[in-house]
Chain A
Amino acid sequence: MITGKQLVSAAIWLPAAAALLCYLWRSYKGRNLVVWASGVVLAACSIGLYLTGPFNYQPGEIAGLSWNTVISTADFALLALILLIGIKRRHILIIMLALFQAALLIYFDAVLGGGELEPGPAFVIDHLSIIMALVINIVGSLICIYGVKYIGEHEDQHSGQTSATSWLSSHSGSRQPRFMFWLVIFLGAMNGLVFADNLYWMYFFWEVTTFCSFQLIGHDLSEEAIANACRALWINSLGGTAFALALVVLVRYGGGDYLSIQYLLIHGAGPGMTMIMLATALLVLAGMTKSAQLPFQSWLLGAMVAPTPVSALLHSSTMVKAGVYLILRLAPVYIGTYLSDIIAIAGGFTFLVTSILAVSQSNAKRVLAYSTIANLGLIIACAGINTPAAISAAIILIIFHAVSKGLLFLCTGFVEHRIGSRNIEDMEGLADRMPLTTIIFTVGIISMFLPPFGMLVGKWAALEAAAHLPLAALFMVMGSAVTALFWIKWLGRMLEGNPGEVQSGLEPMAINYKASLIGLAAGAVLLGILVIPLIRSLVMPAVSQYYSSPGLNTAAQSIVIGNSGLFAVWPWFVLLLIIMVSARLLYDPKKTKSAPVYLCGENSSSTSYTSTGEQSIQPALSSYYFDGFLGEARWTPTVNSLAVLIIMVLLGVTVL
């Protein structure tokens, strides 16, 4: 019988082992096999954890050393590496932040003795961790399976650029093993992060994810890639510094017990806990940097220079989810405080602003990036609203967003390799060129914002908020209207067709792509259909463990499942099915005539017209982007300064 403890160890160590194997086994077939096998095992592990249920776990010793010592040493080693990178790139911010973090850690270890503290079991696996583990291991593994194939194609297409060597892998030749190494090990770090209860341990995993993302963003070694990787590193180091500072404050002013999240949740809330609240605010700040909230969004936008699986991984199941996970995890600590309200407003603000900025973008990955930031903002806003229903909404959003966003990035990557562009305008008429991909893409886009999928959830939360925070509610209501705008524009481009053109058969797709794309698309649809059982079996337990007062719990139940919030989903799917079947019955492409598009009379073909110069002219269609009106360059400085202001208020309210 496999115990939960073994599952936890496997979830952390297996990716590390698989990563090493990927790195050492220098054939595609070998790597592919390793990634598939580890993916299946990891997914099984997470399901096993779900079946096992919550438990605590304190690992023993390793070779006579306590794990705390190992983690401390590893922390310093990691900081040294980051420092080296900073020196090599002559990046003053990275150097300073690394030194500052090191100083904090030395103080923490040497003066406060924090490194040796054992405030409780190092790992506490509760319902929230289990949900995160399911997301990380299932979605993440599918992305890795996609990635192993993708990076091969990517290297073929960019072979010229990769000939330069890096100091980390100075050998010449393929950089695919290195890529897969960082991609797979990321999952292990994320697993550790969500299982850890000791904040000091969590900090270690936190730093590992920062470092992994640096390596992955800079993978292509182009000038832009390196610059953006450095930016990601320093912004996340800022978050790391806030995290380290929070550790110091917690132990210095609260005591060693406060290092345990469980202890913090129970004893942290309440009046007279100023320093604990400050530490919480710092942790929230760390979460915001990791989740690329305004004004830290630039690192995630820059991260899209990386090969697409990296974006998919960073945006869906790992990295940015670590930030919202931490903020959500700490929600019971700041419940009922001004801090909570400010978090809600900060999240709502990010949601609205980044949704609006997404409208002006035509680069598919950039739209996706802004939409990720917006959705994370929504999750954070829900955490800030801090009612059982809002927390349920946040958890549901995490799950749905991971699946849909992973799917959308993978689709974009696949299309980019086929049509050579990631511009939405170039995806015009994709439905007739790549029908299968378009269907999957459509599922992804629809699941991002349409009922019965994600949009609904955000809106409930808005209404929850309305009860006490009209400003946050307004942000959400406006933001969700804007969200629909950019998704539909995109969908419209892809679903466009010429009159009378009958699509040929489905396009071929490699098995790795098929598995990940169809797997995630099916997942999105299934989650949509099964959303109520999902809430009952996964989300409600996670919420009720922190909002234990029975009154709250029933309120949440009635809002989430009762008739005032969610609704029976299946009739909607039945209706969609009826519509599709009747369209099939009513429209026969062989019998129905198709007239050329109306172009004021003088068509030269079904979609072109004859000009006065007797030439056939194809009208060019494009979406509205409102660039001059909503352009990034115009608004970013303003919204960033507003966001800085909000962050300052966020830290300020805890002290006042």
Chain B
Amino acid sequence: MGMMKKSRIKSPWLLHYDGSSCNGCDIEVLACLTPVYDVERFGIINTGNPKHADILLITGGVNQRAARVVRNLYEQMPHPKVVVAVGACACSGGIFHDCYNMLGGIDKVIPVDVYVPGCAARPEAIIDGVVQALGLLAEKTNKEAAV
């Protein structure tokens, strides 16, 4: 299984979901794809399809509506999978946490593996968060029970 684990670490495919972010973090996420940061060096691909993704990367907190979407996307991803919450809002609700429609951070809805703080989170921090998530991904198995 050594080879399999190695492949898992070397080929993380992302699904990026914008919960209710102010788009600051989203722009930083996209910045990671540019030649300056070039995350494809790590084999990272931004898939846009939960069925192909290994890492669910969420920016912004969850509101009532987004909660269903987040849960659904998470369920559509095949095991093993990890969740990375990017930015202050995704971690805790951030400056929106008191809003009438907010539930709070992502962990109110699905289990989060890595928290990346920042407002907005810097690309270096995001990449670091993803790389940490890879360590967790390698240890997970595809038999693991869902939430």
Contacts and interface: CB of A to CB of B under 8 A. Distances in A.
Whether A associates with B in a native complex is yes
Contacts of A595: 50-51, 75-76, 78
A627 interface: no
Interface stretch (B3-11, B65-73, B97-105, B123-131): B65-73
B17 A601 contact: yes
A595 B68 CA distance: 15
Contacts of B51: 595, 598
A608 interface: no
A380 to B, nearest CB: 49
B141 interface: no
Contacts of B75: 595-596
B50 to A, nearest CB: 6
B69 A602 contact: yes
A598 B69 contact: no
A298 interface: no
Interface residues of A, number: 7
Interface in B55-83: 68-69, 72-73, 75-76, 78
A603 interface: yes
B76 A610 contact: no
Contacts of B17: 601
Contacts of B69: 601-602
B76 A602 contact: no
Contacts of A602: 68-69, 72
A607 to B, nearest CB: 13
Contacts of A596: 72, 75-76
Nearest to B66: A601
B18 to A, nearest CB: 11
Interface string A587-606: 00000000110100111000
Contacts of A603: 72
Contacts of B78: 595
B49 interface: yes
A364 to B, nearest CB: 33
Interface string B1-32: 00000000000000001000000000000000
B49 A598 contact: yes
* Residue from A596, A598, A610 having most chain B Cβ neighbours under 10 A: A598
Nearest to A593: B78
Nearest to A601: B69
A602 B71 CA distance: 9
Contacts of B76: 595-596, 598
B81 to A, nearest CB: 12
21 contacts: A595-B50, A595-B51, A595-B75, A595-B76, A595-B78, A596-B72, A596-B75, A596-B76, A598-B49, A598-B50, A598-B51, A598-B76, A601-B17, A601-B69, A601-B72, A601-B73, A602-B68, A602-B69, A602-B72, A603-B72, A610-B68
Interface of B: 17, 49-51, 68-69, 72-73, 75-76, 78
Given A598-B49, A598-B50, 12 more contacts: A595-B50, A595-B75, A595-B78, A598-B76, A601-B17, A601-B69, A601-B72, A601-B73, A602-B68, A602-B69, A602-B72, A610-B68
Query: Which 8 A-B pairs rank lowest in CB-CB distance, beginning with the nearest?
Result: A601-B69, A595-B76, A602-B69, A603-B72, A601-B73, A601-B72, A602-B68, A598-B51
